[in-house]
Amino acid sequence: MTVQLPTPDETLRMVAVHAHPDDESSKGAGTTARYAREGVQVTVITCTGGERGDVLNPRLLDDPSLTAETLPAIRRAEMARAQEILGVDHEWLGFIDSGLPEGDPLPPLPAGSFATIAVEEAARPLVEAVRRLRPHVMTTYDENGGYPHPDHIQSHRISVAAFDLAADPAFAPELGEPWEVAKLYYINGFHRQRFSAVARHLRNAGAPNEELEQMMERFDESTDRLLTTRIDVKEFLAVRDDALRAHATQVDPDGPFFRITHDAEISAWGTEDYELHISRIGVKLPEDDLFAGLRHETVEARA
């Protein structure tokens, strides 16, 4: 099979795969908001309902309406609001949150939860979505999940699997016609280079951020990810923050996500960053566009 490049009048399409509701607003939200406003068909796919997430907003800890029984529906409503703010389409894969195990030794994950399901089986609904939506670009987490939550790691695994399986005509033809996604990216949202630049900017401005300084002490340069692609999101920081605040049970509105001013972010860095993991088309790195090589003027020039 040959990658189907977009025609001159075709809408560009991307799929962003995330583990839980709120991940789409804390990882790559400026990018999806930007592309959606530029006319790209952006679909966020959330693997689980976040059913086992804790209430992380201290203002809501004593809210009697928040129970294990009501939280799943509340998180779905929060996701709908965040989707509206970002301006993206959204689909659920329907898996059950695995939770974040704690203890030594770690307890087993709940039976039937997302991270316990065999990768090829768990990838099937994502394969169906890819074949139906026919994205040119897919984003997901790296092999460590961005951070080692079992659902984040499983999201990575099924995304990589679906990237291959969706293109394989021999795999599950009942899930739709094969489709080759042109490019697969890892979201590199929380990395030393960015935080170091912001911390240095704040220090030079005479307003060091103590939480950020402490975070920098824990970063190991050997764990730096490759940054191949940087997307300018300076105009979309407020949209990102509004979408994140929509997940009210999961986000402290006075927490560290919101303590660095937009001016500092813009001056010090101003991009959301990605690692191009697989490309089925020719590329020239570094990039400033996930669709580099796919826009018609670029395709014509390469041809």
Q: Please choose, from the candidates 18, 189, 35, the residue with its C-alpha nearest in 3D space to the C-alpha of residue 91.
A: 18
Q: Has residue 293 been placed in a domain? A: yes
Per the CB < 8 A criterion, the answer to whether 54 and 25 are in contact is no
Q: Has residue 85 been placed in a domain? A: yes
Q: What is the pLDDT of residue 257?
A: 82
Q: Has residue 90 been placed in a domain? A: yes
Q: Has residue 101 been placed in a domain? A: yes
Q: Has residue 202 been placed in a domain? A: no
Q: Has residue 269 been placed in a domain? A: no
pTM: 0.94
Q: What is the pLDDT of residue 1?
A: 57
Per the CB < 8 A criterion, the answer to whether 189 and 273 are in contact is yes
Q: Has residue 222 been placed in a domain? A: no
20 is in an annotated binding site: yes
Residue numbers of the domain that contains 174: 13-189+229-261+275-302
Output the domain CATH number for residue 256.
3.40.50.10320
What distance in Å separates the CA atoms of residue 290 and residue 162, rounded to the nearest whole number? 19
152 is in an annotated binding site: yes
Q: What is the pLDDT of residue 189?
A: 85
Q: What is the pLDDT of residue 224?
A: 83
Count of the separate structural domains present in the chain? 1
Q: What is the pLDDT of residue 301?
A: 42
Q: Has residue 266 been placed in a domain? A: no
* Residue ranges for the chain with pLDDT beneath 50: 299-303
